[in-house]
Structure 1
């Protein structure tokens, strides 16, 4: 994905929303993983989980 430039408050809310959804849709005993790496002068954040995932029909809408 390309770099994202936005206000700090927006970025904070995006991260909160991603974590909230990961926790909400991952069953007890599942895993939510957060990985942060430094790539040159950029920070890369990856959030993954063992939850149910996003329905294929909703994927085109996730950045709306």
Structure 2
């Protein structure tokens, strides 16, 4: 039996950043700063590169 699903897709842009940091939190912060400063390699994503970020089973009864 097929079910109905809601799928949220994310595909507006992607960025690739290499940073040197002491930990993951600092690396994330430095990467965000690099993107904001225009120092990151930003890729436009084509329609065949969409990524599902959330899928909901709409056939599941509520409650």
- Give me the TM-score of the superposition, normalised by structure 1: 0.26
Higher helix fraction: Structure 1 or Structure 2? 1
- Give me the TM-score of the superposition, normalised by structure 2: 0.27
**Whose Rg is larger?**
2
